[in-house]
Amino acid sequence: MGKRLWVEKNKDGSWDAFSEDGAHIKFGKGTGVFTPGDLMKIALAGCAALSSEFAVSHTLGEGKGARVVVDGTYDADNDAYINFNEQVVVDAIDAGLSDEDADKLKERITRHINKGCTVKHTYEQVTPVRMDVTIRH
């Protein structure tokens, strides 16, 4: 089982998400906060970034990484995203890669993301969600 996470509402209407190991992020509706849909896209982008990190840094050097941009198509009738589009961009201009080396890096990045991105694997399948509601009184 994964680490325990929870959310709590703030007096200003925003929400804070916490993890048992001390991570924290603010979300909600409105300006300056991420929506839950944004967090889904961030999870996908973050997973691709972390999954590709070894391939990129091994080829281009420590501290180098990909910029991952994710958007999605929202279906208002079903209140769900029907797809996500992910762009992984690696700035390798300074590395002087040959076309062959660039193609090899692209293949390695794709392979690493396809193998190691749990979020992508989860989004690509139907994922049941069990929900319990408890009213403490």
Please give the single-letter amino acid code of residue 57. S
Q: Are 92 and 105 in contact (CB under 8 A)?
A: yes
- In CATH, what number does 35-124 get? 3.30.300.20
Q: Which pair of structure tokens corresponds to residue 30?
A: 């409105």
pLDDT for residue 63:
87
Q: Are 52 and 66 in contact (CB under 8 A)?
A: yes
Q: Are 12 and 31 in contact (CB under 8 A)?
A: no
Predicted structure pTM score: 0.89
pLDDT for residue 30:
85
Please identify which residue in the block is written with the tokens 């967090």: 39
Please identify which residue in the block is written with the tokens 């690493």: 112
So where are the chain's domains? 1-31, 35-124
Residues 6 or more apart whose Cβ sits within 8 Å of residue 40: 72, 81, 84, 123
Question: How far are the Cα atoms of 19, 46, 50, 63, 86 from residue 67, in angstroms, in the given order?
Answer: 25, 10, 11, 13, 10
- pLDDT tens digit at each of 137 positions of the chain: 678 999 999 999 999 999 999 999 999 998 899 999 999 999 999 999 999 999 999 999 998 889 999 999 999 999 999 999 999 999 998 899 999 999 999 999 999 999 999 999 999 998 888 999 998 99
pLDDT for residue 104:
96
pLDDT for residue 127:
87
